[in-house]
Chain A
Amino acid sequence: MTNFIKTKLIWIILSTLGAFAFSTIALSRDESINAMWFITAAVCIYLVAYRFYGAWIAAKVLVLDEFKETPAVTNNNNRDFVPTNKWVLFGIHFAAIAGPGPLVGPTLAAQFGYLPGTIWILVGAVLGGAVQDMTILFFSVRRNGKTLGQMAKEELGQLAGKASLIATFVIMIILISVLGLVVVNAMKHSPWATSTVAATIPIAIFIGFYMRFLRPGRVLEATGIGVVLLLFAVYIGGEIDKSESLRVYFDHGGLFLAWSIIIYGFAAAVLPVWMLLAPRDYLSTFVKLGTIIFLAIAIAILQPDIKMPAVTNFVDGSGPIFGGSVFPFVFITIACGAISGFHALISSGTTPKLIDNEKHIPMIGYGGMLLESFVAIMAMVAACVLEPGVFFAINSPVGIVGSDPSIVIQTINSWGFPVTQDQMEQLAKDVGETTLFARTGGAPSLAVGMASIFADAFGKNLLAMWYHFAIMFEAVFILTTLDAGTRVGRFMLQDILGNFHPKLGRTSWLPSTILTSAIVVACWGYFLYIGVIDPNGGVNILWPLFGIANQMLAAIALSVGTAILIRTGKVKFAWITGLPLTWLAIITSTAAFQKVFSEDTRVGFLAAAKFMTEKVNSGMLTDEKISIMNQLIFNLRFDAVITVLLTIVLWLVIIDVLKILFKNKYKFLGVRN
């Protein structure tokens, strides 16, 4: 009895503490607020949500059965179906779902202030993302580990099955191009960053040979060596940067770097996995987990102050980083970290085949997403500990604030964010860069934020090292996502082409491999190229497009979940997926509508295209500028077409769900009577 009271008491304290911390964040209008409030609010909310909402869904809605054998047990083949320890599987699942998304999204969304993004990360994860991951995981376990595409086809029909495939492919392409752009912007005219990132390629290849021939399968030992080499590469990068004769080899503009990444991506997709992809993934997973744990410790020790206001004036849509008002764009910009459709692909098909017992599902599905959400909160903290003036100076593209430093400073000051030219120059010097102006994409400002936290917590004189370590950390797993994504895109394409010509469908046939890899690389290479030549930085177009596509995939996954709940006689619980589905349908449709039809040239694709066409026709531009403009105009129209197509597909799927609901309405009425 006393134990019972004790447990109750602990949960009451946790809930109160969470509510108090959350309201402190939400209501504080002071100059600054301590980052620990964010961590406290997040941790308490996650624990309470996991213990009550997650457990309730598991017990009452899904009705997990710990005595039912999972596919991993019944089909155990010692290969893809293997019952796995729940902590190990949690690690594998988390490493698979957590990529660069939760780091980039919150950094960009910080232009609205810390509050809108933080609320969405917490609420979205607890009520949306984690629910999606867990229900899809459970349904896939009960369907022998079927993929989302297969489940969509069976539960909603042919169209939904195809829709999920198309949405997956589109997301993959846009995700890879925007991530490529983030890396390019981080390396642009930075010999230190470029040489460090370049060094990761031979290091990965060396580790690949080591694990294949010298010491087969000794993952930890090889990765340990690799991590030491990576740290050494960061140090050597600094020496290269200091050397006048060496630095010129690594000092490149955006276009050269974009082409390098395109060629690299093609090579990575065609080369055998053991050589580049697998070793790079081992390195990136270790660096990723290590850095995130390190960052959490540093924030806990240092307890930095958040300097960004709770809400900025840019909620009206005039923000420099991307155009568009806080509704719906904060929900689009932060996809991973709140709810990400991509996770449904991992939660079906891959992880279900490793689940040892159904009772592990809440921890892996719901808990895994909460941890990713926590990573997003830390990214938000890292972005908001910067002086807002510095944050905007780094992230505002040339197309908005111009390229003359004194004018940039003037513009940012006029927004009400104090920053001086000396301050920016000193900061650039401290982190070992020539300039930090217009470094769009989120990676550099996140790196400055992380570096300042690390430097304050562990040693101030190493700011430049920390900065380039952070850049290396981001680049190394962005490139892993790029490699892996290109490869998956290739498989999907081979699968489709196999319907027309069986030989093309064979993944081991070299000509097919080369052809399909080239097509996939050309697809994302195109968007990357356009992003680089776009004076507005490209990220402002590509990231919302990625967000819309990713949220639409989430909507499809939630449609599958809702349809299954309705079909299995659980109509009265269908709101657990139906509610986030409704919300996603509203925000993606609104965002898609605004992206296509808005009159604001910074939001609407068509308005921007029209504006540029007028500029081209005015005859005031040079031939070179006109050719760039024409490419941008074509791209804007192309983006509009993609957005419209995705929206149509989404609504066709939702109509399927509504049809199922309608067919089962008697059951629904029966339950209510």
Chain B
Amino acid sequence: MWIKNLWKFLRAISGDDAYEVYLNNFSKCTNHLNSNPLSRKDFYSQKLQQKWNKINRCC
């Protein structure tokens, strides 16, 4: 059981599950009823752009 939790934690912390989280949030969010979610590839590249457009690594 703890191995499963550790794996879940690792996936969350590394952003491995980010797309699934995004899809999950997307389906719950009514604002998006008229549009389709991004593909996995587009989501990933958009996420990287956001992540590296600010200071997020330090000394």
Which of chain B's residues 2-59 have a Cβ closer than 8 Å to chain A?
9-16, 18-19, 22, 25-26, 29, 40-41, 43-45, 47-59
Residue A211 CB within 8 A of the other chain? yes
Q: Interface 1/0s, chain A 281-298, versus B by CB < 8 A?
A: 110011000000000000
Q: How far is the CA of A218 from the CA of B18 in the complex (A)?
A: 10
Nearest CB on A from B44, distance (A): 4
* A219–B52 CB distance below 8 A: no
A546: chain B residues within 8 A (beta carbon): 59
Complex Cα–Cα for A101 and B48 (A): 25
Complex contact A219–B14 (CB within 8 A): yes
- Please tell me if the beta carbons of A88 and B58 are within 8 angstroms of each other in the complex: no
Chain B CB within 8 A of A87 CB = yes
Return the chain A residue nearest B42 by Cβ.
Answer: A216
A175 located at the interface, meaning its Cβ lies under 8 Å from any Cβ of chain B in the complex: yes
Q: Are A346 and B55 within 8 A (Cβ)?
A: yes
Question: Which residues of chain A in 75-100 are interfacial with respect to chain B, using CB atoms and an 8 Å cutoff?
Answer: 78-80, 85, 87-88, 91-92, 96-100
A340-B45 in contact (CB<8A): no
With A78-B25, A220-B11: A481-B57 Cβ-Cβ less than 8 Å: yes
B40 touches A220 (CB 8 A): no
Query: Given A212-B45, A217-B18, does the pair A97, B58 have CB atoms closer than 8 Å?
Result: yes
Q: How many residues of A contact B (CB 8 A)?
A: 54
**A480 interface residue per 8 A CB criterion:** yes
**How many of chain B's residues touch chain A, expressed as a range?**
20 to 34
> Nearest chain-B residue to A179 (Cβ)?
B59
Are the C-beta atoms of B9 and A350 separated by less than 8 Å? no
**Chain B residues, CB < 8 A from A451:** none
- Return A357 CB to nearest CB of chain B, in Å: 17
Interface readout for A96-122 with B: 1 if CB under 8 Å, 0 if not?
111111000000000000000000000
Partner of A340, one of B10, B57, B58: B58
Q: Which of B11, B47, B59 lies in contact with A342, CB distance below 8 A? A: B59
- Contacting residues, chain B, for A336 (C-beta < 8 A): 58-59
User: Are A101 and B55 touching (Cβ within 8 A)?
Assistant: no
B41 touches A219 (CB 8 A): no
Smallest CB–CB gap between B29 and chain A, Å?
A: 7
- C-alpha spacing A480/B58, complex, angstroms: 10
A487 beta carbon closer than 8 Å to chain B: yes
| Contact, CB under 8 Å: B59 / A218 | no
Question: Which of A78, A223, A273 has the most B CB atoms < 10 Å from its CB?
Answer: A78
Given A78-B25, A91-B13, A481-B59; A217-B43 close (CB under 8 Å) = yes
B52 interface neighbour in A277, A285, A349, A481, Cβ under 8 Å: A277
Query: In the complex, which residue of chain A has the Cβ closest to the Cβ of B20?
Result: A217
A window 265-318: CB within 8 A of B: 273-274, 277-278, 281-282, 285-286
Does the CB pair A218–B58 fall under 8 Å? no
Tell me which residues across on chain B come within 8 A of A507, comparing CB atoms: 53
| Pairwise interchain contact A550-B45, C-beta atoms closer than 8 A | no
B14 to chain A, nearest CB (A): 5
Known: A100-B59, A349-B55. A80 touches B16 (CB 8 A): no
Give the residues in chain B near A526, CB-CB below 8 Å: none
When C-beta atoms are compared, the residue in chain A nearest to B37 turns out to be A78
Docked complex Cα distance between A349 and B58 (Å): 14
Q: Does A485 count as interface, using CB distance less than 8 angstroms?
A: yes
Which residue of the partner chain, among A88, A101, A350, contacts B12 with CB atoms under 8 Å?
A88
A439: interface (CB < 8 Å): no
Taken together as a complex, chains A and B put the C-alpha atoms of A350 and B9 apart, in Å, by 21
- B interface vs A, CB < 8 Å? 9-16, 18-19, 22, 25-26, 29, 40-41, 43-45, 47-59
6 residue pairs, one from A and one from B, having the closest CB atoms: A101-B59, A217-B44, A484-B57, A91-B13, A216-B41, A219-B16
Can you name 30 A-B pairs with beta carbons within 8 Å? A97-B58, A99-B58, A100-B59, A101-B58, A101-B59, A171-B59, A175-B59, A212-B44, A213-B41, A216-B40, A217-B19, A217-B40, A217-B43, A219-B15, A221-B16, A274-B45, A278-B51, A282-B14, A285-B14, A335-B59, A336-B58, A340-B59, A345-B55, A346-B55, A346-B58, A481-B59, A484-B52, A491-B53, A491-B54, A507-B53
Chain A residues with a Cβ under 8 A of chain B? 78-80, 85, 87-88, 91-92, 96-101, 168, 171, 175, 211-213, 216-221, 223, 273-274, 277-278, 281-282, 285-286, 335-336, 340, 342-343, 345-346, 349-350, 480-481, 484-485, 487-488, 491, 507, 546, 550
Given contacts A278-B52, A340-B59, 4 further A-B contacts (CB under 8 A): A99-B59, A213-B41, A219-B15, A340-B58
